[in-house]
């Protein structure tokens, strides 16, 4: 049996763009990523068994169930450019407020009840101007680029239990996307991108490792707290309020898990840019690799029959590193154009195109006639994720929403000089 799987990511990123010999700028990119897939029956998605408040099933000890999924994904994005860092850092909040007002205005104006009333209220003396100011959207700069990418996605997940103390889990996903980017000046960029992520975790259930006497004291404190809440509710509302015995028992047995997580990810993308007349302009190759590690806390709640489950994960950054290598070749002579044309036959294969002879020829043109840079960063990433699954007549439906904050501080930069190799890139630190 196959079950549906859904995922979504919303976010933005700010980065400094260093242009050798030109003016540096700050880019702000907003993006939305979505995934829809079918997964094998029983694919492990929620927490490892150790943090299940209903207990660890003894017949699953040392078992490592594995599942897989296959589907499609899509990404949409808008990019804005600013001349100062402060403008770039202030813009996401302005963007969010503007979008919220836009959605609010659309929802109110299109409602058959509130729409006419809102239109009338805007025309009232004294209060009308205030209502219009409240719903008025701030002036926004036009995006310098929009993008759309689609393609297949696939992954594997596994989890297991080492005795009754430790739980282990691992995940592997990969996706490939083909897309377009349209710049405000009319340039069109065709993109081919291959990405992958691998994540592994080791966790322990706090309730398992805590001594029995400490557990009993905690359970007693929880029961006292529930009793006090019931008394407060009765005094406030005048009617008795009793928490179901099963829920009370659940709260005393539900212990979070703690542990550590390591995550690595990488992306290789190829970008071929044409001007508004269709003439080739440049070819860019970008390789982005990253490794982060986290402290982790998580918990799961579920119905007694386990048909409905909700898990919450919080990962606190403990360190990391990121490396971005960019190679750019202006298509301004016959040799460069031929090298790019030869490689474009294989570019739809994604990272697999690096195994072809055409990749070697393009690499030589990058070294002799292009611009090659490498930037390394100290990376810090933290996130919170909510995962839910429901088992019903349609099978098991799984979905998750993750909020993530990432900060990368430049640690080093190099640029390629023909005949010398990589040398320090002083302009990048300016």
Per-residue model confidence as pLDDT tens digits over 39-94: 887 665 543 333 333 333 333 333 347 888 899 999 999 999 998 889 998 888 88
Specify the pLDDT at position 192: 97
Select the more confidently predicted residue: 404 or 130: 404
pTM of the model: 0.76
Q: What is the mean pLDDT of residues 104-131?
A: 56
Bigger pLDDT: 126 vs 417: 417
Buried b (16+ CB within 10 A) or exposed e, 85-120: eeebeebbeebeeeeeeeeeeeeeeeeeeeeeeeee
pLDDT reported for residue 104? 60
What average pLDDT does the segment 246-266 reach? 73
What pLDDT score was predicted for residue 305? 64
Q: What's the rounded mean pLDDT across residues 205-220?
A: 59
Q: Does residue 319 or residue 259 have the better pLDDT?
A: 319
What pLDDT is stored for residue 51 in this prediction?
A: 35
CA-closest candidate to residue 64, choices 204, 203, 167: 167
* Spatial distance between the Cα atoms of 331 and 359, rounded to a whole number of angstroms: 16
279-328: per-residue pLDDT in tens?
999 999 999 999 999 988 877 766 666 667 777 888 888 899 999 999 99
pLDDT tens digits for range 336-362: 999 999 999 999 999 999 999 999 999
CA neighbor of 250 nearest in space, from 55, 10, 13: 55
The chain-wide mean pLDDT, for the chain, equals: 79
pLDDT, greater one: 395 or 154 = 154
Please tell me the predicted confidence (pLDDT) of residue 256.
67
Q: Which of 130-144, 209-223, 266-280, 363-377 has the lowest mean pLDDT?
A: 209-223
Above 70 in pLDDT, residue 8?
yes
Helix (H) or strand (E) holding 91: helix 85-110
| Cα gap 378→355, rounded to integer Å | 30
Tokens of 333: 């002579």
Confidence at 210, pLDDT banded by 50, 70, 90: low
Could you tell me which of 158, 205, 171 has the C-alpha nearest to residue 42? 158
| Cα–Cα distance for residue pair 157/173, rounded to 1 Å | 8
pLDDT band per the 50, 70, 90 thresholds, residue 250: low
Q: What average pLDDT does this structure show over 17-42? A: 81
381-409 mean pLDDT: 77
* CA angle, 334 then 361 then 347, to 5°: 90
Percent of the chain's residues with pLDDT above 90:
35
């Amino acid at each position: 049996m196959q079950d549906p799987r859904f995922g979504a990511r919303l976010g933005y990123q700010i980065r400094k763009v260093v242009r050798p010999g030109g003016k540096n700028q700050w880019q702000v990119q907003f993006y939305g990523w979505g995934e829809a897939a079918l997964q094998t029956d029983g694919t492990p998605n929620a927490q490892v068994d150790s943090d299940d408040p209903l207990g660890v099933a003894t017949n699953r000890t040392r078992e490592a169930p594995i599942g897989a999924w296959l589907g499609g994904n899509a990404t949409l994005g808008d990019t804005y450019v600013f001349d100062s860092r402060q403008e770039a850092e202030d813009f996401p909040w302005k963007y969010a407020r503007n979008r919220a007002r836009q959605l609010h205005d659309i929802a109110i104006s299109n409602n058959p009840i509130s729409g006419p009333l809102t239109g009338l209220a805007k025309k009232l003396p004294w209060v009308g101007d205030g209502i219009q100011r409240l719903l008025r959207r701030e002036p926004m700069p036009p995006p310098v680029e929009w993008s759309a990418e689609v393609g297949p996605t696939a992954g594997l997940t596994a989890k297991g239990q080492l005795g009754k103390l430790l739980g282990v889990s691992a995940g592997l996903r990969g996706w490939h996307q083909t897309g377009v980017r349209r710049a405000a000046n009319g340039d069109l960029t065709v993109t081919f991108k291959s990405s992958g992520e691998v994540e592994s975790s080791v966790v322990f259930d706090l309730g398992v490792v805590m001594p029995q006497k400490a557990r009993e004291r905690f359970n007693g404190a929880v029961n006292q707290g529930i009793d006090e809440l019931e008394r407060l509710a009765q005094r406030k509302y005048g009617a008795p309020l009793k928490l179901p015995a099963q829920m009370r028992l659940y709260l005393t047995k539900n212990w979070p898990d703690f542990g550590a997580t390591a995550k690595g990810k990488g992306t290789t993308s190829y970008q071929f840019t044409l001007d508004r007349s269709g003439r080739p302009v440049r070819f860019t190759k970008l390789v982005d690799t990253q490794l982060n590690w986290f402290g982790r806390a998580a918990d799961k709640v579920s119905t007694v029959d386990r048909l409905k489950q909700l898990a919450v994960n919080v990962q606190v950054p403990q360190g990391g590193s990121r490396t971005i290598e960019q190679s750019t070749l202006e298509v301004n002579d016959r040799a460069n154009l031929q090298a790019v044309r030869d490689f474009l036959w294989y570019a739809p294969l994604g990272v697999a195109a690096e195994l072809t002879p055409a990749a070697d020829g393009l690499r030589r043109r990058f070294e002799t006639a292009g611009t090659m840079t490498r930037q390394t960063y100290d990376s810090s990433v933290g996130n919170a994720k909510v995962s839910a699954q429901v088992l019903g007549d349609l099978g098991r439906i799984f979905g998750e929403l993750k909020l993530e904050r990432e900060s990368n501080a430049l640690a080093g930069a190099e640029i390629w000089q023909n005949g010398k190799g990589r040398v320090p890139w002083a302009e990048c630190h300016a």
